[in-house]
Amino acid sequence: MTKANELREMSDEQVKAVWKDAAESLFKLRLQAQTEKLASPTEVRKSRKTIARCQTVLAERGKAAAAASGEATS
């Protein structure tokens, strides 16, 4: 599980890679849940939270970049 602080230290490409891995993992876990072969139901929650953390970090960076460019044009 990746913490938000760890994600903030990564580059955008690395965060996107973690996001993609978590999304693929979530897809596989959902398939396992449908076929009732899911060993650990908490893994679904962990994947969803990792995806949310990645989205949050990327959104924070986007807002910071927009604010910086807004200050530069003023």
pLDDT computed for residue 39 by the predictor: 85
pLDDT digits over 12-66, tens only? 999 999 999 999 999 999 999 999 888 888 999 999 999 999 999 999 998 988 8
22 within a domain of the structure (yes/no):
yes
- pLDDT of 68 reads 86
Model confidence band, residue 1 (pLDDT cutoffs 50, 70, 90): low
Number of domains in the chain: 1
pLDDT at 16: 95
End-to-end CA separation in angstroms for the chain: 41
User: Rg for the chain (alpha carbons), in Å?
Assistant: 16
Q: Is residue 3 part of a domain?
A: no
**pTM score, two decimals?**
0.85
In a domain? residue 48: yes
> How would you class 62 by CB atoms within 10 Å of its CB: exposed for 0-12, middle for 13-18, buried for 19 or more?
exposed
Answer whether residue 5 is part of any domain.
no
Helix (H) or strand (E) holding 31: helix 12-34
Asked, for residue 42, whether it belongs to a domain, the answer is yes
In-domain check, residue 1: no
User: Quick check: 18 and 2 in contact, CB under 8 A?
Assistant: yes
Domain hosting 44: range is: 12-73
